[in-house]
Amino acid sequence: MEAKRVLLPQIKRDIKLPCVLNKEEVKRLLKAPKYLKHRLIIGMLYGCGLRSYELCAVKLSDLDFERKTVFIPKKKGK
């Protein structure tokens, strides 16, 4: 005797694309803060796609100026 298969309807997910700024908008965003420190914070968050807690955890040893890279240890999920 064969077991009957039950087909469930698939749930449709809205696939929303992230909002991406154009070059002029990015320049204005980075020029907006008065202090260089704040410009760097915004630049790292936007340019590297970091979460705020990831940026707070960045150490000098995580920066590789020769390769122009930043090491961000995986903290969320698996």
Q: How far is CA 5 from the centre of its chain?
A: 41
Residue 76 lies in a domain: no
Asked whether residue 10 carries a pLDDT value surpassing 90, the answer given is: no
Three-state secondary-structure class, residue 53: helix
Residue 44 lies in a domain: yes
Whole-number Å distance between alpha carbons of 42 and 50: 10
Domain presence at residue 9: no
Instruction: Flag whether 27 is in a domain.
Output: yes
Range of the domain at 41: 23-70
Confirm whether 55 is domain-assigned.
Answer: yes
Q: With 60 as the cut, is the pLDDT of residue 78 above it?
A: no
Residue 66 in any domain: the answer is yes
Q: Is residue 78 part of a domain?
A: no
pLDDT in tens, 26-50: 999 999 999 999 999 999 999 888 9
Residue 11 falls inside a structural domain: no
Q: Identify the pLDDT of residue 42.
A: 95
Task: State pTM to two decimals.
Answer: 0.64
Q: How far is CA 26 from CA 22, 36, 62, 73, in A?
A: 6, 15, 25, 26
CA 47 remoteness from chain centre: 8
Q: Looking at the 3D structure of the chain, how many domains does it have?
A: 1
* pLDDT confidence bin for 65, thresholds 50/70/90: very high
